[in-house]
Chains A and B, each alone.
Chain A
């Protein structure tokens, strides 16, 4: 391991050479918006909110998967990036049925927080209003496809932290859906351990604890990173 220095928003930053731009920025206290990234899970570069401009590269690069390099010059908050971020958040709001007023995650939602952050005062796109279902067959958790943004954080938490791989994605494009096992009702899933890590990971109100009422559903995404680190350090022995 060695250390590299780079510039993020004209600020000098040093980082381990295997760190990503996102990690380096966070360590330096520079905020980059993310949605599909969650500490403790593998990075997939899917939501494109963390896109940054790197001098000398003619494409935008996702901060969550791009490794730092010596002498790199990164800009994380240009007007162009702000514009793209707002469009992306608007696209998400128009894609499914995100009605904050009647959502269990109201006030505890990363999508909602992002909308405020990017200054989304209204949505310019026509709402698609897809007819989507809610799976309430599991005794403790519910899956509301109307609120899902397909970030796959739940899928990765289930696979990488719990090791169950109950959740996965079915179909492609706008027709993609989170499914349990081979697209069976969640309550009938033979692999689900009811651990609730998916509910910790979900940024919106899509996966929730049953019985939560509006604005009650608090997520604990930090617990996943905590688990991972503790396991790596072997903080518990069984």
Chain B
């Protein structure tokens, strides 16, 4: 396929879509799917087939629309000459509502199901990564191309050298969305420069020794579904980012590492890869150039630590998912000893827009050091739970109270936890902090991959810390001692607080131990595991102190501690 053919295909698809004056988009994202959107789509299709509008309405299943708490979400679009289509959004649609929805097409919207898109939940968001998610049919490459997909790839292949691509990404200021916020351009440049001969390689038979690109779609944080929504709702965008990355760093093979718990994402990615291969956008001599690139999928078995880059690489190699000390970083010594670029799904989903609209445009969004947008999974005690994309630099208050709609049931806000299980809890007085990598770190939390959990005033912060520590303890790979034994001891001490057996001595030991685990652990799991404890100790220390034994009696080793330890170590 060349650029001309791409343009023609886009035109054809657009014309075909315009021939249908109406489109019904049924959200098939995680939340809506669980709420029964599949049945709704079937009912709508049946209803359209029976109605007089047959042949004029296209019913399609699309990716996540964000407002998961109100699912299933249905959007009815009406084509307008020379303008964006007019659309109406419906919430909580059940299969029984199908006749009413179809009858209303072209007339007045169904009042009962109507969802106002003029509320801050929609107006305060800025969508780049998710711009097509919920608009296109993720199972059709034509739909992606019709909306401008793969144009960036052609621009890169036809007009830019690999180093120009890297410069463009560097100038955009994009930073890795997988958690650490490492500058993406710098990482690409390191891989591009890396000497494949520096370290001995051990590629298996059938694999060519070269550079590799890995897309990290492991997303092991509980409650996070940002990457999942992108992979399920707009898989071609991820592929396009990977192909461009491959061109920039000089790799011919890419792997997408997805957890097996995401069967729909796996299926959609497989379909997308097949479609891209069919039209010649993946495979040998892409678009008639000398550049070849292939993508394969690797499934993870759902261990949190396998999201850590070196553990992920070990897992792709077929070993146990254990991290190894860095340096050497994967950029120099990665998959099978070869230089490897590893980027998060969301990072890669930002690539095509940056190439299309330019680094300056991207750099104009966000704060001085954090550019662009960030996708968050907003959950907990907040009215609008779901998936949001906001510009960097927006305040936590705007996220929780404007977009999130505030705290339900008349309760008061207490804290918001950012960054998943190993993020910190941020209290009310810091709600006006702009969301960027540095500000969150300064508050003792992290950006992480983008979980946001809102807690109301009924929350016991010690219990929150204990809960997350339990997760980290269970997900610790067991390789290094500070993380394996340290998280278990932290959890044990927090359990003593919760059962009224903690003394001042435990509180001091807890603080010392958090310091050890944070600074002596091998990988990011252990290094960030104490964050929930440290941040709650920093902002809610009185809650810990209130739980200390009033008689100051130091609780010995033998009494009962043994049975309790047994119950969770066995």
Identify the A interface with B (CB < 8 A). 44-48, 51, 59-62, 65-66, 83-84, 87-88, 91-92, 94-95, 124-131, 149-150, 169, 171-176
Given A46-B479, A125-B489, A173-B478, output 19 extra A-B contacts at Cβ < 8 Å: A45-B324, A47-B481, A48-B522, A61-B325, A62-B522, A88-B481, A88-B520, A91-B489, A126-B565, A128-B488, A129-B566, A130-B566, A130-B569, A130-B570, A149-B481, A150-B478, A150-B484, A175-B478, A175-B569
Of all chain B residues, which has the CB nearest A176? B478
CB pair B521 A127 closer than 8 Å: no
Q: Which residues from chain B contact A47 at a C-beta distance below 8 Å?
A: 480-481
Nearest CB of B to A117, in Å: 16
Nearest CB of B to A134, in Å: 16
Asked, given contacts A46-B522, A84-B519, whether A91 binds B481 with beta carbons under 8 Å apart, the answer is yes
Query: For the complex, what is the distance from the CA of A62 to the CA of B566, rounded to whole Å?
Result: 32
CB pair B482 A48 closer than 8 Å: yes
Nearest CB of B to A94, in Å: 7
Q: Which residues from chain B contact A60 at a C-beta distance below 8 Å?
A: 519-520
B239 CB–A CB distance under 8 Å: no
Interface residues of chain B: helix, strand, loop or mixed (majority): helix
Of all chain B residues, which has the CB nearest A130? B569
Instruction: Find residues 459-514 in chain B having any chain A CB closer than 8 Å to their own CB.
Output: 473-482, 484-489, 492, 509, 512-513
CB pair B570 A131 closer than 8 Å: yes
Q: Which of B305, B479, B485, B561 contacts A95 (CB 8 A)?
A: B485
CB pair B477 A173 closer than 8 Å: yes
Of all chain A residues, which has the CB nearest B569? A130
B394 CB–A CB distance under 8 Å: no
CB pair B478 A91 closer than 8 Å: no
Enumerate 14 A-B pairs (CB-CB under 8 Å) in ascending A order. Answer: A45-B325, A48-B480, A61-B325, A84-B520, A92-B481, A125-B509, A126-B492, A130-B565, A150-B481, A172-B305, A172-B478, A173-B474, A173-B488, A176-B484
CB pair A174 B485 closer than 8 Å: yes
Q: Which residues from chain B contact A61 at a C-beta distance below 8 Å?
A: 325
Query: For the complex, what is the distance from the CA of A61 to the CA of B482, rounded to whole Å?
Result: 14
CB pair A46 B481 closer than 8 Å: yes
B303 CB–A CB distance under 8 Å: yes
Nearest CB of B to A193, in Å: 23
Q: Which residues from chain A contact B83 at a C-beta distance below 8 Å?
A: none
Query: For the complex, what is the distance from the CA of A195 to the CA of B549, rounded to whole Å?
Result: 54
B357 CB–A CB distance under 8 Å: no
CB pair B324 A44 closer than 8 Å: yes
Q: Which of B480, B488, B509, B569 contacts A46 (CB 8 A)?
A: B480
Count of chain B residues with a beta carbon within 8 Å of a chain A beta carbon:
38
Of all chain B residues, which has the CB nearest A65? B325
Q: Which residues from chain A contact B480 at a C-beta distance below 8 Å?
A: 45-48
Query: For the complex, what is the distance from the CA of A131 to the CA of B568, rounded to whole Å?
Result: 11
Q: Which of B484, B565, B570 contacts A173 (CB 8 A)?
A: B484
Instruction: Find residues 26-49 in chain B having any chain A CB closer than 8 Å to their own CB.
Output: none
Query: For the complex, what is the distance from the CA of A156 to the CA of B522, rounded to whole Å?
Result: 19
CB pair B473 A91 closer than 8 Å: no
Query: For the complex, what is the distance from the CA of A131 to the CA of B570, rounded to whole Å?
Result: 7
Query: For the complex, what is the distance from the CA of A171 to the CA of B478, rounded to whole Å?
Result: 8
Nearest CB of A to B345, in Å: 24
CB pair A87 B569 closer than 8 Å: no
Instruction: Find residues 187-226 in chain B having any chain A CB closer than 8 Å to their own CB.
Output: none
CB pair A91 B482 closer than 8 Å: yes
Instruction: Find residues 295-314 in chain B having any chain A CB closer than 8 Å to their own CB.
Output: 303, 305
Q: Which of A83, A88, A171, A173 contacts B475 (CB 8 A)?
A: A173
Q: Which of B324, B476, B521, B565 contacts A48 (CB 8 A)?
A: B521
CB pair A127 B516 closer than 8 Å: no
Asked, given contacts A62-B325, A126-B565, A174-B569, whether A92 binds B485 with beta carbons under 8 Å apart, the answer is yes
Query: For the complex, what is the distance from the CA of A193 to the CA of B423, rounded to whole Å?
Result: 48
Q: Which of A59, A62, A129, A172 contacts B562 (CB 8 A)?
A: A129
